[in-house]
Structure 1
Amino acid sequence: MPNISLVMIVKNEEVHLEDCLDSVKHYVNEIVIVDTGSTDNTIEIAKTYGAKVYGYTWTNDFADARNFALSKSTLDWNLILDADEQITSWDKDKVNSLLKDLNFIGKVDIKSNFLQNNEERFSQNFISRLLPKGASYFGRIHEQVVSDLPRIDLPIEVFHTGYFQTDKSERNLAILNEELTCFPNNSYILYQLARQYKTMNLYEDAFNFFRESFLIADRSEGYFTDLVVNYIYTLIELKQYYPGFEIIDQLNVPLGSSPDFQFVCGIFYMNFVLSDVAKNMDFLPLIERAYLTCLVLGEQKEREIVVGTGSYLAAYNLGVYYEMLNQKEKAKYYYNISSAQNYSPAEIRLKPLK
């Protein structure tokens, strides 16, 4: 079995820490916890799991704290988790086989829950979290791994609850703006600022930062699809349809296999048609095409950012589309697809159609 150290930075995490450590303790050989000033029982809980606990004076820099924690690890591999995360799946045989080679960065599937349209939804992203000795972090917030080693997806799943019905806006904005002062042309920082403002429903601010990030972003970066999707959502909120059409036309080919891109296109076309039905009725078929494409991509197992964009969410929106056109049998067909995947709004819409 490879030698893996769990490496964490924490502060006042007594509510989450035990669940986190219970989920991971059978997969690691060492636990290193760096505490940045807890006043609750965090340190005591960590010690009951045999953790090596170190104190650290917080400097408003997540990368510095993570690098300090990494310096305390004594093993070949370092697994990075936050206290509000739990391991939900780990294929030991495959992971152990892969970790015989130290020449890569391991990406794990981080799933998160969030609120959208008053519904709990789930996102998923493969993020670099299993690092060989020598890898380090850069960035005051939303820190990234600095390494030229290739990234490999690992059969490890983590569930993260840290942003569900919590507000970290004030902290995040302060650190992001500090980072932007040092790196004004960094597309990733601009993107994270835009996302933060969008979360706060400050769409004009979000638009400005999304636009700046989009203009200079490297399209090969892992966050590019999410940047584009959230940029289009922001344009919908601001009813800026013509810039939205320009972006969609420009990226329809390179991002055409993304369920999330196709899904937001469907929402964009719907809002555009409804903004002036008499004038924009010719665009109605684009709504149907976008969501049908989502379902095809879902069947092809194309990776989703928001779970359901290639399945039950797209099927539900098709049901709404057909119901709006009074095509009740088609509406029922797609509501049934969505309902079969336990999407409760589809079950509700089905009742009056039966």
Structure 2
Amino acid sequence: MKTVALVMIVKNEEKHLARCLRSVHKIVDDIVIVDTGSTDGTKSIAYSFGAKVFDFEWANDFSAARNYALMQSTCDWNLVLDADEYIVNDCKSIIRHFIETNERAIGRIKMVNEFIQNGERRYAQSYLSRLLPKGVTYVGKVHEQVDSPFPRQNIDVEVYHDGYVHTNKTERNLDLLLQELQQHPTDDYVLYQVGKQYKLLQQFNMAEKYFEESYRLVPLYASYRHSLVVDYLYTIIANRSFERGLQVIAAEQGRLDDSSDFHFACGLFYMDAIFYHMNQYVHLFPMIEKSFIRCLQIGETDQYDRVRGTGSFLAAYNLGVFYETTGQMERAIHFYEQSAHEGYEKASERLKTLKQ
């Protein structure tokens, strides 16, 4: 029978580590934890779960630390998690079946990232390569990537990550990415990640600059291209670069017609363009309705990385706003009710106001 180890790198993670290890220790055969300089109780928690703990001197390179951790594993397969991530579904048999029936493949788990947007809790989900056969390693100083030609396969392992809510590592990540960009100035993926960090810092002019360059270089087949386009559009909205936005939408609407996140961003783009430049962009008004209706037609799928709700309650709520604004109250209430039924609190609050 093949074996699987949990492989982690940690530093000062006493607040999160036990939760992670509780979620996974009965699934794996071994736990390998590499500590990069903790000064709290991280190591003690690791030992309490029977982990093998190793020290590694931090060198501003996540791949170097991860690869060292992978070298310490003696198992056939390695499941890579971070301390602020934890498994939420019953997936032991799924992982076991995957490692027994595959040799030269990479397992992609569903990662659900919790974040705050406009004061609301949101959840973005993506599939990440985290179940690796022995010998597979990483490249990249930060936002490291699996370095392997093996095919990727999505598996039903769901992991939650709330690190974006509780900690802010953006400036650290940005420093490392800019160092990497000095060595690889035309790396479209690194350019994209730099843009993302500036977007998180709400430095939208800088974000747009790096997204633009990444967009110019990115291959059509790149796995992250969809996320780049969506992030680029949101940055364009923030900067009110509406003419550029129209160019990007025109170029991508055929390729991304099956993406609810793309059409959701388009709907918000049209709303903002009309709000700020009514005379210039009023002809786009019908596109608001079409965009959010298309979101609902697509629904919540795993075709792309996405924010939960863009194919359901968030799109329905925005249709409610559109119809309320245009005086179509029966339609507005219908879509507010649909959104509220799916658990969106803002829709419930709007319905209470309208029915008073």
Q: What's the counterpart of residue 59 of structure 1?
A: 59
1:331-346 equivalences under 5 Å are 331-346=332-347
Match of 2:187 in 1: 186
For residue 304 of structure 1, report the CA deviation from its aligned partner: 5.2
The residue that corresponds to 2:207 in the other structure is 206
CA drift of 1:220 comes to 1.4
Alignment map for 1:298-337 (pairs within 5 Å): 298=299, 302-303=303-304, 305-337=306-338
Report the more deviating stretch, 303-312 or 183-192. Answer: 303-312
Distance 1:305 1:186, change over 3 A: same
Matched, 1:116 2:136: no
Counterpart of 1:88 in structure 2 is 88
AA aligned opposite 1:216:
L
Q: Who is 1:156 aligned against?
A: 157
Q: In the TM superposition, what is the alpha-carbon distance from 1:166 to its structure 2 partner?
A: 2.6
Tell me, yes or no, if the aligned pair for 1:328 and 1:353 is still in contact at 8 Å: no
Q: Deviations over 1:255-295 (max 9, x none)?
A: 11011001000000111111232443221110000000000
Alignment RMSD: 1.2
Q: CA separation in 2, counterparts of 1:342 and 1:310?
A: 14
Which one-letter code corresponds to 2:237 in the other structure?
A: I
Contact 2:94 2:156 in 1 (8 A): yes
Contact 2:7–2:33 (CA under 8 A) maintained in structure 1: yes
Report whether the alignment pairs 1:239 with 2:245. Answer: no
Instruction: Give aligned pairs, total.
Output: 354
Residue 66 of structure 1 aligns with an amino acid whose one-letter code is R
Residue pair 1:304, 1:310 contacting (<8 A) in 2 also: no
Q: Is the 8 A contact 1:114 1:165 kept in 2?
A: no
Determine the structure 2 residue equivalent to 1:170. Answer: 171
Task: Name the aligned partner's letter for residue 72 of structure 1.
Answer: Q
Question: CA offsets, 1:46-72, max 9 Å, x none?
Answer: 011111100000000000000000000
Q: Is the 8 A contact 2:196 2:207 kept in 1?
A: yes
Distance of 1:321 and 1:165 partners within structure 2: 34
Give CA-to-partner distance per residue, 1:154-188, whole Å, 9 cap, x none.
11000001111432122111101110011111011
Distance 1:232 1:176 in 2: 22
Aligned letter for 1:248? I
For the 8 Å contact 1:173–1:193, the answer to whether it is kept is yes
Aligned amino acid, residue 202 of structure 1: Q
Letter of the aligned partner of 2:10 in structure 1? V
Q: Is the 8 A contact 1:90 1:155 kept in 2?
A: no
Equivalent residue number for residue 349 of structure 1: 350
After superposition, residues 248-263 of structure 1 pair within 5 angstroms as 248-263=249-264
Match of 1:10 in 2: 10
Q: Which segments of 5 or more consecutive residues in structure 1 lack a partner in the other structure?
A: none
The TM-score normalised by the length of structure 1 is: 0.97
Paired with 2:295 and 2:40, the residues of 1 have a C-alpha distance of 47
- What are the within-5 Å matches in structure 2 for residues 58-77 of structure 1? 58-77=58-77
Q: Give the TM-score normalised by structure 2.
A: 0.97
> Helix, strand or coil: the match of 1:99?
helix
Amino acid at match of 2:31: I
Give secondary structure in 1 for the equivalent of 2:163.
Answer: coil
Q: Which residue of 2 aligns with 1:47?
A: 47
- Distance in 1 (alpha carbons) for counterparts of 2:171 and 2:282: 43
Return the alpha-carbon distance in structure 2 between the equivalents of residues 158 and 301 of structure 1: 15
| Residue 290 of structure 1: aligned partner | 291
Distance 1:105 1:62 in 2: 20
Instruction: Work out whether 1:32 is the aligned partner of 2:25.
Output: no
Alpha-carbon spacing, 1:224–1:90, altered in 2? closer, same or farther (3 Å): farther
Q: Deviations over 1:3-31 (max 9, x none)?
A: 11000000111111111000001110000
Distance 1:280 1:216 in 2: 29
* Structure-2 change in CA distance of 1:299 and 1:38 (3 Å): closer
3-state DSSP of counterpart to 1:154: strand
Q: Tell which deviates more after alignment, 114-123 or 162-171.
A: 162-171
Residues 22-31 or 162-171, more deviating: 162-171
CA contact under 8 A between 2:5 and 2:30: conserved in structure 1? yes
1-structure distance, mates of 2:143, 2:110: 16
Change (3 A) 1:165 1:7: closer
Say if 1:259 and 1:304, in contact at 8 Å, map to a contact too.
Answer: no
The sequence identity of aligned pairs, in percent, is 45
2:265 aligned partner: 264
